[in-house]
Each structure stands twice: as structure tokens, then as C-alpha cells.
């Protein structure tokens, strides 16, 4: 495969598309699929055949506003239909070339206006199972350009220049990490993609892997070229069967086109990727645990250093990045580091994809420039809290993050700003809570999650999260005391400072952040035996006998 | 040292050939343990002592290590699933929208705690840590099919249908 051949494919795809008068893009992501998108697509195909119009019907990845699904976008008219079902197929096809169907037309200008699409630029425009669709939208151009015109150092330089930071949540500068792996000695190096999206309430990585799998593969190949690796692994949760299937197809197609394998683009560069399935362990999102799992072992973390960049998979230098980080690489190489660095805030560049869920009108995937105010995301893009309720808090960063109260909504979203208020960027889950959510109960939910997901290797996390859970359960059932609240705070500090890996170190965050901003709710539970949100039942007192923690 | 010969297949059940195929594809390497266990579970529905022993011997992994891996990961099950499975997602978005109430109602209806199967082997009640359909919370998987915005009545109706089948 050469650049000329790539351009030839892109040209033939656009010629093929021009044969059709209209294109109907049907979103087939999980949310739309669970509302009958497949039946809608079949009905559209039938309707198009019946009326004899020249229509291309394409299945695409997530278009964003999942709560309005199933979604259909009509090109070239650029009309978006929401809540479409199979009974509307006739009307949709009928309207092509004339006025759009009024009752299905979706007015989400506010929702889309403030978004900037880099990672999701292809979502809704390509069929994720067709490599040619991806190539037609400049796919693999960055890889072939890099292989033929750039040195590995040049690639690293461009990524460094972009200011891209790790999108898994930690925010480590990507260029710096690549540079470390590139400098590490040894012939054998590995590139790993972390697709173990364990944060409950987040699905950005799933949508990217399902909607635009080649973007991840291309990002990994560029990384491999930059650091000198020839083998890659994508670690995906087994709970995401569609993502696994799409990635498998993508890898097969890329090999067939000669974009993976030996001597890619007639250069000495060899690279191939294998998929590894996770098996339901949140701790495997931690890099050393993930590597253990790829090696077929229990996913328990190891102390760092040595960092995986020096000694990772099978003791070899290993580069680990998140799905979204890799998804940003191809556009950076294509458009330059400066282009990317122009977006976002001073120390957080580019855009970030968030999964906006919970008590909010427009749930779904949004991509916004860094530095945007939380208020804009929640009120303009998300459409605010529905059913006349009032906004109470937004939770970011999942079980490692915290809750941000209403008075901080004017905060600009960046790694440092979120850290400062006691939360973290995390992988991009953003869960909105209203006045019917009890913050103590939410803290208890996250602690229970960390307790069951603790791998058990270090004691502060294994025993500490269990004791935290007991204390919070007592508070939620009206049996807690103020002394126990002090004990809880002390315990949080101990777990935070002494745990081995990120899971334990961040497990107290949900408790600490809710205590910081919603202490009155804790006091209501303890002193007045009352749950202000009406969630906790305050029955069945829990004895304060210490729990014994085994395993 | 004599060359390693993998143990014979436990029976002439064709599914063992699929399991063996996964191991062969990975050159019987030790790191293929999790991959192989996934194949066993997808072929047989669960992992029993015989299958774990067979996989451990074939990959030359100590039995203790294989068992350790099986019990470490939530995805692997040591018990056969019921005829139907209701999986309720308990991710954050689903929890905020009342998944805990769904779980409690299902437990009460079936008379079993989550993670168990009814005595007649008809229905398994499971809990998932986020299936990634958060925008349609609360979500349940009814025999693997995603149902968004699941209501209590809708869920109990489904359980009733399965129970009388």
C-alpha cells in the first residue's frame, strides 16, 4: 500500500457515493440498537427499493445524543431525525428531495453548537466495518505519511508539540511517555491499548472502538513506529462484545490492505495487533495489572518503578495508552501539533469526550474543547436537569473521582482544575445528580464498588475499603455517630497514602469530596436520622461490630 | 527432557475441539490461559473442575494458578447458568436512576439473591458492572439483549413470562 493507492481508494469511494442521490446514515450504537435501529434500517432498505429512489443506507457508529435515538442523518441535506422507528421508514424515504418530515426533525442546535469533534469526527459518517469508508475520510494517511516522510523522533516531536495528555484520566504527557519508551533499550518492545473501560457510567471508549475502530489501530501503528515496537495488544472488556467484533474485523481488513503486517508501505516497518479480552476486573485498568492480565495472570498491580515504559509486558519496554489517546494521534500527525495545541486551555490541550448521563435531558456522548465551563456542558449541551428538579452535583472520574457541587459549575474543565476541587478528569464519565440523589448514598455506592473490585494485594485497600463501607452503611441506616464520621475521615487519609495502586489511593475521593461539599447531608443522617433526598430508608440498624476481612 | 504432549480431550464432545483450537492458535502458550477460559465459558456456559483441569494441563499452568485466575475475574462463572438470565446493570448511571430498586424487586420476586439461579434452573439473576449503555439507564440485559429504561413492572412481567414457560 502506498499513498497513491490510498488516494485511489478514497477517490473510488467518493465516486461510488456520488452515484447515490441521497445517503441515509443510521446510528447503530448500543443505545440506538436497543431501540430498534436494526429494524429501522431494514425498513429503510425496503422502502428505498419500493420507491425506486437512489439511496445509500449506511450503518454508523454513535452520533452523540443517545436519548433521542434511534437517529438517522440524511445527506447531503444534513437533516437529523430523532426517535425514528420502522414505521417512519416510508415517510423518511418519501421526503427525500423534498421537505423533511416535520415530526421527526430534531432541533439540537444548542447541543451540537458548542462541541468540537476531533476524536468523534467520523462517528456518524462511516460504516465501522468498512476500511474504505475510513480511508475516504483521510484514514491511514497519517500513518503512511509518517512512514515515508517522518523519522520516529519526528513523530514523537509532533505529539509532544501538541501537548496531548493521557486521556485515561491520569493526564501524563503523551509525548514524554513515548520518548521514554523510544529511549529504552532492547529489540523487543510492545504497544498496548487500554480498552478496559472499567469506570461504571462511562462509555466513550466503547463508542470509539465500535464506531471508528481503524482510528485506534492507526494511532497504535503510529505509536509503534515512533517507539520502535512491532507488536501491539488491545485489551478490551469482555462486556463489550460488539467492540471486540468490530476491532477483529478492522484488524483483518487492515492486514488485507497491507496496513498491518510486514514491510508496511514498502518500508522496513512491521507491525501487527492482537486483541486480548478482559474478564471483568476494574483493577485491570491500572497499567501494571492490565499487563499481568495480558500475560494470562490474575490482574494484580505491581509497585512502580520500574514503570512499564522500562519493564512492562514480559519484562520488555511497553507503551500503554488509553483508547481515546490513540484516537487523537492520527489527526495530530495529519494537521500538526500546533493545530491541536490551539484547542483547549493552557495546560490541557485539545478536546475531551464525555459520556453525559444521569439526571440530564440529553444523555449521550459529547466532545468539547478543554477549558469549557461545566455549566455549558450541563445546561447548554446537556439541556439541564429534566422534570422540574434542581441540579445538585456532577460526578466525574467514576469511583476515583468526586462530586462537584452547583456553586462550582463555572469551573473550566481541565486536568488541573478538576484535581483542585477534589475530583479528577478520569476517563470521561460525567454523571449528573439532582435533588433526589443522596450524596452519602452515592459515596457508599462507590466505596462498595471499590471494596468488591479491590484485588486484595495490599491491606489498606482490601481491609480499609471494607471498613469504610461499614461506616457508611451505618450512616445511611441512621446508626452512625459523629465519632464514626471522624474515624471515616482518618481512615480515608490512611487508605489514600498507603495503598499500592491507583484503585486504593483514589477510593476515598468520592467520600472526601462529598464530605467537603455536602457535609450537612452526613450530619442530617447522623444527628437527625433523616435522609434529605429520601433515598436512605433509615431502618434496620447496623451493629458496629468490626467486620473481619479475609482474602 | 521429553517433548510435551497435551492431554487428550476429556470427551468426544465437539466443544472441546473449539477449546483446543484456541490453545493451538496461541501455540499452547501459558499466557493464553484467560483467552482459553473465555472459549470454555462461551462454549459450555460455565467452568467446571474438569474443564479447568484440562486447560491447566494443556497449557502447563499449575492448577492453583488456573483456579486463582478463574476466581479472580468476575466474568468467569463456576456454576451453570439458568435457562434464562436477567442481568441488571449496576453502574453509576443506572444506580442513580434506581437500579438498586430493580435488583431488590427481582430478588424478592425470584426468592434468590443476585448471582444465583432459581432452584428449578429456569432463571439466573445477575448483576453487571456497567454494560456501557449508560445513556439509557437503568439498563438490564434480558438473555443478553439490552433493554433500556427498564421499569419495575416491565422487568417483573418478563420474569413472570420466563417462570411459566
Domains defined for chain A, CATH in brackets: 15-106 (3.40.30.10), 138-341 (3.40.50.11540), 351-434 (3.10.20.600), 439-527 (1.20.1440.230)
Helices A459-476 & A439-453 angle (0-180, nearest 10): 150
Q: Could you tell me if residue B3 is inside a domain?
A: no
- Would you say residue B2 lies in a domain? no
Q: Across the interface, do A281 and B73 touch by the CB < 8 Å criterion?
A: yes
Q: What does the alpha-carbon distance between residue A314 and residue A301 come to, in Å, rounded to a whole number?
A: 14
How many Å lie between the alpha carbon of B66 and the closest alpha carbon of chain A? 8
Query: Cα(B72)–Cα(A283) distance, rounded to whole angstroms?
Result: 11
Do B105 and B37 belong to one domain?
Answer: no
Residue of A nearest to B77 (CA): A279
For the beta carbon of residue A258, count every other beta carbon within 10 angstroms: 15
**Residue A144 backbone phi and psi in degrees, to 5:** -70, -35
Where would I find the H helices in chain B? 15-25, 33-44, 49-59, 63-72, 92-96, 99-110, 152-164
Query: What is the reported pLDDT for A477?
Result: 92
**Does A23 score more than 50 pLDDT?**
yes
Q: Per the CB < 8 Å rule, is A429 touching B92?
A: yes
Q: What are A106-137's pLDDT values in tens digits? A: 888 888 999 999 999 999 999 999 999 999 99
Structural domain total, chain B? 2
Better-scored residue on pLDDT, A548 or B45: B45
pLDDT at B1 over 80: no
Pairing type for strands B84-89 and B123-128 reads parallel
Query: Per-residue pLDDT averaged across A176-181, rounded?
Result: 97
Same domain, yes or no: B93 and B52: no
What DSSP state is assigned to residue A369?
Answer: E
What does the alpha-carbon distance between residue A487 and residue A515 come to, in Å, rounded to a whole number?
A: 13
Domain C-terminal end among B6, B41, B72: B72
pLDDT for res A549:
61
ipTM of the complex: 0.94
Verify whether the Cβ–Cβ distance B134 to A355 is below 8 Å.
yes
Nearest CA in chain A to B33: A296
Q: Are residues B99 and B146 in the same domain?
A: yes
B65 and B90 together in one domain: no
Phi-psi map region of A371: left, alpha, beta (phi>0 left; psi -120 to 50 alpha): left
A contacts of B128 (beta carbons < 8 Å): 239
Range of the domain at B46: 15-72
- Hey, are the CB atoms on B35 and A355 less than 8 Å from each other? no
Does the pLDDT value for residue A551 go beyond 70? no
Q: Are residues B88 and B158 in the same domain?
A: yes
- What are A365's three cell numbers? 456522548
State the nearest Cα–Cα gap between B67 and chain A, in angstroms: 10
Residues B67 and B125 in one domain: no
Q: How many helices (H) and strands (E) does chain B have?
A: 7, 4
Specify the pTM.
Answer: 0.95
Answer whether residue B77 is part of any domain.
Answer: no
Residue of A210, A168, A195, A169 whose CA lies nearest to A276: A195
Do residues A79 and A73 make contact, with C-beta atoms less than 8 angstroms apart?
yes
Q: Tell me how far apart the alpha carbons of residues A294 and A288 are, in angstroms, rounded to a whole number.
A: 10
**C-alpha dist (Å) from residue B128 to A277, A326, B81:** 16, 27, 15
In this structure, are B114 and B61 located in the same domain? no
pLDDT at A541 over 70: no
Q: Is residue B5 part of a domain?
A: no
pLDDT exceeds cutoff 80 at A544 = no
pLDDT for the residue A109? 84
B-contacting residues in A 22-81 (Cβ below 8 Å): 30-31, 33-35, 66-67
Residue B32 has its nearest CB partner, among A66, A296, A453, at A296
Tell me: pLDDT of A548 over 80.
Answer: no
pLDDT digits (tens, 9 = 90+) for A330-359: 999 999 999 999 999 999 999 999 999 999
B7 inside domain: no
Pair (B124, B90) in one structural domain:
yes
**A239 contacts B75? CB cut-off 8 A:** yes
**What's B150's domain CATH number?**
3.40.30.10
Please indicate if any CB of chain B lies within 8 Å of the CB of A239: yes
Residue appearing with cell numbers 433526589: A436
Same domain as B110, residue B90? yes
How buried is A168 (Cβ within 10 angstroms: 0-12 exposed, 13-18 middle, 19+ buried)? buried
Q: B96 and B49 share a domain?
A: no
A385-407 pLDDT, tens digit each: 999 999 999 999 999 999 999 99
Asked whether the predicted pLDDT for residue A5 surpasses 70, the reply is yes
CB contact under 8 A, B38 and A277: yes
> Alpha helices, DSSP H only, in A262-322?
287-294
| B6 falls within a domain | no
Longest CA–CA span in chain A (Å) reads 76
For A:192-221, CB contacts with B below 8 A are 197-203, 206
Distance CA A502, CA A442 (A): 20
Please name the member of B95, B131, B145 whose beta carbon is closest to the beta carbon of A445.
B95
Stated as kind and residue range, the H or E segment containing A228 is: none
- Statement to judge: residues B96 and B46 lie in one domain: no
Query: Chain A residues with CB inside 8 Å of B146's CB?
Result: 30, 33-34
Write out pLDDT tens, residues B5-52: 889 999 999 999 999 999 999 999 999 999 999 999 999 999 999 999
Kindly state whether residues B62 and B100 are assigned to the same domain.
Answer: no
Instruction: Answer yes or no: is B20 within a domain.
Output: yes
Interface of A with B in 411-440 (CB under 8 A): 429, 431, 433, 437
Q: Give the Cβ contact number of residue A51 at 10 Å.
A: 12
Going across the sheet that includes A272-277, the strands are A272-277, A231-236, A190-195, A318-322
Is B128 within the bounds of a domain? yes
Amino acid at each position: 500500500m502506498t499513498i497513491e493507492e490510498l488516494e485511489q481508494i478514497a477517490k473510488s469511494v467518493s465516486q461510488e457515493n456520488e452515484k447515490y442521490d441521497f445517503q441515509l446514515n443510521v446510528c447503530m450504537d448500543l443505545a440506538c440498537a436497543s431501540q430498534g435501529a436494526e429494524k429501522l434500517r431494514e425498513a429503510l432498505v425496503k422502502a428505498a427499493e419500493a420507491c425506486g429512489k437512489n439511496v445509500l443506507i449506511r450503518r454508523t457508529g454513535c452520533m452523540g445524543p443517545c436519548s433521542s435515538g434511534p437517529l438517522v442523518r440524511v445527506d447531503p441535506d444534513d437533516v437529523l431525525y430523532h426517535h425514528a422507528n420502522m414505521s417512519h421508514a416510508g415517510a423518511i424515504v418519501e421526503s427525500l428531495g423534498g421537505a423533511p418530515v416535520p415530526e421527526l426533525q430534531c432541533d439540537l442546535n444548542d447541543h451540537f453548537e458548542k462541541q468540537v469533534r476531533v476524536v468523534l469526527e467520523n462517528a456518524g459518517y462511516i460504516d465501522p466495518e468498512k476500511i474504505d469508508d475510513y480511508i475516504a475520510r483521510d484514514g491511514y494517511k497519517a500513518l503512511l505519511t509518517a512512514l515515508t516522510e517522518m523519522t520516529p523522533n519526528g513523530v514523537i516531536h509532533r505529539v509532544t508539540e501538541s501537548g496531548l495528555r493521557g486521556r485515561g484520566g491520569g493526564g501524563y504527557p503523551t509525548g514524554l511517555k513515548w520518548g521514554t519508551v523510544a529511549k529504552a533499550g532492547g529489540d523487543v518492545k510492545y504497544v498496548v491499548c487500554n480498552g478496559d473501560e472499567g469506570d461504571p457510567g462511562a462509555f466513550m471508549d466503547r463508542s470509539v472502538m465500535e464506531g471508528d475502530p481503524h482510528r485506534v489501530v492507526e494511532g497504535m501503528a503510529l505509536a509503534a513506529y515512533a517507539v520502535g515496537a512491532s507488536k501491539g495488544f488491545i485489551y478490551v472488556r469482555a462486556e463489550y462484545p460488539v467492540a471486540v467484533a468490530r476491532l477483529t474485523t478492522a484488524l483483518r481488513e487492515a492486514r488485507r490492505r497491507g496496513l498491518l503486517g510486514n514491510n508496511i508501505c514498502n518500508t522496513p516497518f512491521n507491525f501487527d495487533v492482537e486483541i486480548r479480552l478482559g474478564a471483568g476486573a476494574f483493577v485491570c485498568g491500572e497499567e501494571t495489572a492490565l499487563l499481568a492480565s495480558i500475560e494470562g495472570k490474575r490482574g494484580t498491580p505491581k509497585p512502580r518503578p520500574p514503570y512499564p515504559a522500562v519493564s512492562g509486558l514480559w519484562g520488555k519496554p511497553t507503551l500503554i495508552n488509553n483508547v481515546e489517546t490513540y484516537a487523537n494521534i492520527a489527526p495530530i500527525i495529519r494537521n500538526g501539533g500546533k493545530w491541536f495545541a490551539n484547542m483547549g486551555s493552557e495546560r490541557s490541550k485539545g478536546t475531551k469526550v464525555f459520556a453525559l448521563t444521569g439526571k440530564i435531558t440529553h444523555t449521550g456522548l459529547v466532545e468539547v474543547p478543554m477549558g469549557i465551563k461545566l455549566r455549558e456542558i450541563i445546561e447548554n449541551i446537556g439541556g439541564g436537569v429534566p422534570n422540574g428538579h434542581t441540579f445538585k452535583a456532577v460526578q466525574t472520574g467514576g469511583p476515583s473521582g468526586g462530586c462537584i457541587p452547583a456553586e462550582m459549575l463555572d469551573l473550566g474543565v481541565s486536568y488541573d482544575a478538576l484535581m483542585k476541587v477534589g475530583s479528577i478528569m478520569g476517563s470521561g464519565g460525567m454523571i449528573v445528580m439532582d435533588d433526589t440523589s443522596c450524596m452519602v448514598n452515592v459515596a457508599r455506592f462507590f466505596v462498595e464498588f471499590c471494596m468488591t473490585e479491590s484485588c486484595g494485594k495490599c491491606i489498606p485497600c482490601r481491609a480499609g475499603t471494607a471498613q469504610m463501607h461499614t461506616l457508611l452503611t451505618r450512616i445511611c441506616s441512621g446508626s452512625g455517630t459523629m465519632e464514626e464520621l471522624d474515624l471515616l475521615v482518618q481512615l480515608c487519609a490512611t487508605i489514600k497514602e498507603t495503598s499500592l495502586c491507583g484503585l486504593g489511593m483514589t477510593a476515598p475521593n468520592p467520600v472526601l469530596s462529598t464530605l467537603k461539599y455536602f457535609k450537612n447531608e452526613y450530619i442530617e443522617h447522623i444527628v437527625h436520622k433523616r435522609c434529605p433526598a429520601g433515598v436512605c430508608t433509615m431502618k434496620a440498624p447496623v451493629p458496629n461490630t468490626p467486620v473481619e476481612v479475609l482474602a | 527432557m521429553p517433548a510435551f504432549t497435551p492431554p487428550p480431550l476429556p470427551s468426544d464432545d465437539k466443544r472441546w475441539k473449539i477449546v483446543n483450537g484456541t490453545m493451538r492458535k496461541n501455540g499452547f502458550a501459558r499466557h493464553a490461559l484467560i483467552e482459553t477460559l473465555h472459549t470454555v465459558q462461551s462454549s459450555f456456559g460455565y467452568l467446571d473442575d474438569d474443564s479447568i483441569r484440562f486447560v491447566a494441563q494443556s497449557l502447563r499452568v499449575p492448577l492453583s494458578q488456573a483456579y486463582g485466575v478463574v476466581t479472580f475475574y468476575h466474568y468467569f462463572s463456576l456454576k451453570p447458568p439458568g435457562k434464562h438470565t436477567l442481568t441488571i446493570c449496576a453502574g453509576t448511571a443506572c444506580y442513580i436512576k434506581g437500579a438498586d430498586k430493580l435488583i431488590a424487586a427481582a430478588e424478592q420476586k425470584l426468592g434468590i439473591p443476585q448471582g444465583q439461579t432459581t432452584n428449578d434452573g429456569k432463571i439466573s439473576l445477575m448483576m453487571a458492572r456497567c454494560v456501557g449503555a449508560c445513556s439509557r439507564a437503568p439498563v438490564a440485559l434480558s438473555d443478553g439483549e439490552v433493554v433500556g429504561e427498564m421499569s419495575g413492572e416491565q422487568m417483573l412481567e418478563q420474569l413472570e413470562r420466563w417462570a411459566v414457560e
